């Protein structure tokens, strides 16, 4: 009876009393009649929208299933229903009906507000910001709309910074990251430090990484960058410790990359006994550079380890095709085996 009476009042445009009756019908139906409960909740949403009660509208819409929301949207498009559909990821449904609905029919400001939110949901951030600017000319933004506009602006600025970074425009990227409201967050601190590293501002990059909060998902890339900076800035001991941690804790790819870095560090210090076990593990990895392969051969020669002499020769023959520097190493290899004629030939090639 309450539900029938609520519908009658709604048809007479007595939305205040209709809302009260729909609320009563929903309360009664909650203990048994699911169909009446479902329809009463939809009635609550309709009348709350017509009464302009934002909080009640939001609560009522939360209780509707997607089919009810789409039905309500297609019958009578409104900002709250469209906003709820966008929150559920139904931007296509909103876009289609919004294009078919004249701004006057929905209300120009509401049409514009929802269009701005739709553009933001679809990643068209600059378009969304232009619409919010137009909306501000028609009426003051609500607190919620101001918050949404600020969030879109923040996303746009972050995208701009990321675009500069991806394009290798590190100076512009750094300026963009520095201008973000959350520029000191762990994610952006890592990016800012990476930009500074590319700009040879190593001491500043190290300071940022040392002082930024640690979060688990960023700890490995943060540590990898910090180790590289320590190495470049003359702190090999700190770099070594971090590389060792990454070899244990990192992903498979990070373990391989860290082993390469640590092997390179040891090689630069001619610590061949430490470098060779690492080099032996990675020499068969794809994508090894010529310098890394040459370091492996040097490590073998320095430690007088000829257990893979055939492999050493094969690597050297491959290297001399790519870099003339490898001829000198080939000469050392042949000389160590007593092949003096081959060694002399290789050394002559190195001098050409």
Q: Two tokens at 114?
A: 């929802």
Half-sphere exposure in the Cβ direction for 321 (13 Å, CA): 5
At 341, the pLDDT band (50, 70, 90 cuts) reads: very high
Mention every residue, 6+ apart, whose C-beta is less than 8 A from residue 188. 161, 177, 180, 182
> How far are the Cα atoms of 153, 199, 213, 339 from residue 160, in angstroms, in the given order?
11, 19, 24, 60
Tens-place pLDDT, residues 52-94 = 888 888 888 888 888 888 888 888 888 888 889 898 888 888 9
Residue 294 pLDDT more than 80? yes
Tens-place pLDDT, residues 159-188 = 999 999 999 999 999 999 999 988 889 999
Note the pLDDT of residue 15. Answer: 87
Mention every residue, 6+ apart, whose C-beta is less than 8 A from residue 255. 246, 247, 248
Residue 20 pLDDT more than 80? yes
* Secondary structure string (H, E, C) spanning the chain: CHHHHHHHHHHCCCHHHHHHHHHHHHHHHCCCCHHHHHHHHHHHHHHHHHHCCHHHHHHHHHCCCHHHHHHHHHHCCCHHHHHHHHHCCCHHHHHHHHHHCCHHHHCHHHHHHHHHHHHHHCCCHHHHHHHHHHHHHHCCCCHHHHHHHHHHHHHHHHHHHHHHHHCCCHHHHHHHHHCCCCCCCHHHHHHHHHHHHHCCCHHHHHHHHHHCCCCHHHHHHHHHHHHHHHHHCCCHHHHHHHHHHHHHHCCHHHHHHHHHHHHHHHHHCCCHHHHHHHHHHHCCCCCCCHHHHHHHHHHHHHCCCCCCHHHHHHHHHHHHHHCCCHHHHHHHHHHHCCCHHHHHHHHHHHHC
At 49, the pLDDT band (50, 70, 90 cuts) reads: confident
Note the pLDDT of residue 122. Answer: 92
Note the pLDDT of residue 78. Answer: 85
Residue 106 pLDDT more than 90? no
Cα–Cα distance measured from residue 156 to residue 124, given in angstroms and rounded to the nearest whole number:
9
The pTM of the whole model exceeds 0.85: no
Cα–Cα distance measured from residue 254 to residue 308, given in angstroms and rounded to the nearest whole number:
27
Note the pLDDT of residue 325. Answer: 84
Tens-place pLDDT, residues 175-227 = 999 999 888 899 999 999 999 999 999 999 999 999 988 787 788 889 999 99
Q: Which whole number is the average pLDDT over 236-253?
A: 88
Which one has a higher pLDDT value, 38 or 251? 38
């Amino acid at each position: 009876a309450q539900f029938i009476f609520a519908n009658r009042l709604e048809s007479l445009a007595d939305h205040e009393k209709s809302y009260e009756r729909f609320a009563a019908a929903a309360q009664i139906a909650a203990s048994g009649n699911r169909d009446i409960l479902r329809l009463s909740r939809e009635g609550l949403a309709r009348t709350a929208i017509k009464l302009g009660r934002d909080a009640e509208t939001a609560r009522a819409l939360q209780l509707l299933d997607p089919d009810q929301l789409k039905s309500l949207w297609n019958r009578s498009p409104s900002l709250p229903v469209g906003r709820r559909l966008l929150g559920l990821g139904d931007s296509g449904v909103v876009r289609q009906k919004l294009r078919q609905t004249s701004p006057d029919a929905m209300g120009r400001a509401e049409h514009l507000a929802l269009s701005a939110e739709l553009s933001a949901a679809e990643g068209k951030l600059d378009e969304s910001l232009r619409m919010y600017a137009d909306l501000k000319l028609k009426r003051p933004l609500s607190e919620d709309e101001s918050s949404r506009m600020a969030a879109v602006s923040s996303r746009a600025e972050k995208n701009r910074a990321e675009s500069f970074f991806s394009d290798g425009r590190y100076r512009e990227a750094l300026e963009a990251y520095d201008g973000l409201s959350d520029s000191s967050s762990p994610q952006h601190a890592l990016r800012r430090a990476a930009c500074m590293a590319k700009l040879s501002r190593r001491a500043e990059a190290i300071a940022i990484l040392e002082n930024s909060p640690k979060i688990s998902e960023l700890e490995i890339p943060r540590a990898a960058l910090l180790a590289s900076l320590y190495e470049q800035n003359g702190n090999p001991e700190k770099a070594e410790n971090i590389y060792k941690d990454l070899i244990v804790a990192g992903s498979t790819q990070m373990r391989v990359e860290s082993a390469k870095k640590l092997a390179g560090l040891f090689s630069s210090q001619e610590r061949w006994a430490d470098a060779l076990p690492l080099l032996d593990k990675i020499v068969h990895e794809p994508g090894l550079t010529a310098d890394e392969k040459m370091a492996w051969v040097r490590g073998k020669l320095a430690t007088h380890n000829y257990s893979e002499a055939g492999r050493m020769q094969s690597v050297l023959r491959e290297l001399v095709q790519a870099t003339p520097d490898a001829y000198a190493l080939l000469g050392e290899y042949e000389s160590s085996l007593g092949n003096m004629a081959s060694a002399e030939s290789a050394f002559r090639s190195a001098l050409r």
